[in-house]
Amino acid sequence: MTPQVQDALVSFIGDSLAPGRRLGVSWYGGEPLMAKEVVFRLSDRLAELVRETEGAAYEAMIVTNGYLLDEATASSLWQRGVKTAQITIDGRADFHDNRRALLKGTGTYDRILRNIQTTVTTTGMHVAIRVNIDDRNRDSIEDLLWDLADRGLGKAGNLSVYFAPVEAITEGCHSVSDATMTKRDYAALETSLQRLAFELGLAGLPYPRRFIGICGALRPNGLVVAANGDLHKCWDTISMPHLKVGSLLDGRASFHTDRMGEWSGWSPFDQAACRNCRMLPSCGGACAHKFVNPEQTSGEAAALPCPSWKYDIKRRLLTRAVAAGLISGSDAAAADHETRLTDVVVDRNGTLAHEGLKASVGGRKLLPLVVI
Ligand code: SF4
Ligand code: SF4
């Protein structure tokens, strides 16, 4: 990021930050720690802006591959208000090293795991390990969890593990769509992995929140800033300049009104599938990008925005009930634990919205989404 873009960004945030508001920053790449001096410098300037704004608050997180997150770097980030680091591991060491090797071919797994151990023991930063799963590495994930536990990470109070399906949600990754899991297969696997992670002390048993919340793309002031000053609403369009919603130019932000309108006007209530779905109050439509830019997605996993909860909610609730001592394991085993689409879809029109979801993308606007 050039000094001109940095200056434009600080000036844009300075003009936008009102007293009493919160500035939330996610450092993201590429790999943001390849430019850690820029991250440090901008953090200091933004923190100063917040200090000068009455009642304003600052919080930050970083999405990093973890390779450059050594002790000094973790400490510098922590001192600059970075409270969470999200680090992706692509399965057991051999799978991860195969996918995430250095240019010279050396693996990165061991060094990343050492950095994670150092970060959670020397700072208060929360490390969220994201495990990407597809058909190719699905059988290696249990070994990964055991390895994390063997390294003592199950005892760290500031570490958690969560899982995410690999999805082909941009044109650049359509080649992986054949390797992605179906929504239902992924949900069943995730349920069993969540239980193992819980038993190993690596995660709590998740509970479907009353409202998952909306992602930054739908918040009026949520923007992703590219290194060249392009402005996007969604993290996943950042490599596609034709989908930008504006730019930081000559120290000022300018916006494409039509493209901004596609995001600000989007509502799950416009989608027949979401309107007919019992998950809507909790889910809120999950991922607007899949509706706004459907041509970017490929394969079932990417086309359907629905979170994995939708496909296995009964088994997950039973698992939680057993863990909380509310019911016995034999009660849970005897219960009907299969989640059918008819359980989660209100079939008002004689069609199941699951199948109709893709067809509903781009549907007519009916009601505004009111978020309180
Ligand atoms: S629109 Fe979807 S892909 Fe984009 S930031 Fe939101 S959840 Fe992520
Ligand atoms: S149809 Fe899918 S995306 Fe829409 S509310 Fe239901 S679970 Fe969420």
153: pLDDT confidence band, cut at 50, 70 and 90?
very high
**pLDDT at site 289:** 93
Question: Which of 79-83, 123-127, 247-251 is the least confident region?
Answer: 247-251
Ligand nearest to the CA of 293: 1
Cα separation of 289 and 170, whole Å? 10
Residue 280 CA: nearest ligand 2 atom is 5
Average pLDDT score over residue span 154-172:
93
Segment 323-356, tens digit of pLDDT: 999 999 999 999 989 998 888 887 655 444 445 4
Cα separation of 187 and 165, whole Å? 9
256: pLDDT confidence band, cut at 50, 70 and 90?
very high
372: pLDDT confidence band, cut at 50, 70 and 90?
very low
- Cβ of 215 closer than 6 Å to ligand 1, yes or no, is yes
| In-domain check, residue 282 | no
Cα separation of 225 and 8, whole Å? 11
Query: CB under 8 Å to 339, separation ≥6 — which residues?
Result: 310, 311, 312, 313, 314, 315
* E strand intervals along the chain: 22-27, 57-64, 82-89, 126-133, 159-165, 224-225, 230-232, 246-249, 252-255
Residue 42 in this model has a pLDDT that exceeds 80: yes
| In-domain check, residue 70 | yes
Average pLDDT score over residue span 134-154:
97
Q: Mean pLDDT in the chain?
A: 90
**pLDDT at site 349:** 53
63-73 as b/e: b if 16+ CB within 10 A: bbbbbebeeeb
| In-domain check, residue 294 | no
| In-domain check, residue 82 | yes
**pLDDT at site 326:** 95
| In-domain check, residue 13 | yes
**pLDDT at site 369:** 25
Percent pLDDT > 70 in the chain is 93
Domain limits at 153? Answer: 3-165
- Cβ of 303 closer than 6 Å to ligand 2, yes or no, is no
The one-letter amino acid code at 355 reads E
Instruction: Tell me the pTM.
Output: 0.90
| In-domain check, residue 261 | no
Residue 360 in this model has a pLDDT that exceeds 60: no
Residue 310 CA: nearest ligand 2 atom is 7
- Cβ of 149 closer than 6 Å to ligand 2, yes or no, is no
Residue 33 in this model has a pLDDT that exceeds 80: yes
Residue with CA nearest ligand 2 atom 2: 306
- Cβ of 275 closer than 6 Å to ligand 2, yes or no, is no
303 compared with 21, residue with greater pLDDT: 21
Cα separation of 89 and 186, whole Å? 17
Cα separation of 290 and 311, whole Å? 18
Residue 39's domain is classified under what CATH number? 3.20.20.70
Alpha carbon 371 to chain centroid, angstroms: 20
Average pLDDT score over residue span 159-186:
92
Residue 51 in this model has a pLDDT that exceeds 50: yes
| In-domain check, residue 61 | yes
Total domains, the chain: 1
| In-domain check, residue 236 | no
Percent pLDDT > 90 in the chain is 77
Segment 61-71, tens digit of pLDDT: 999 999 999 99
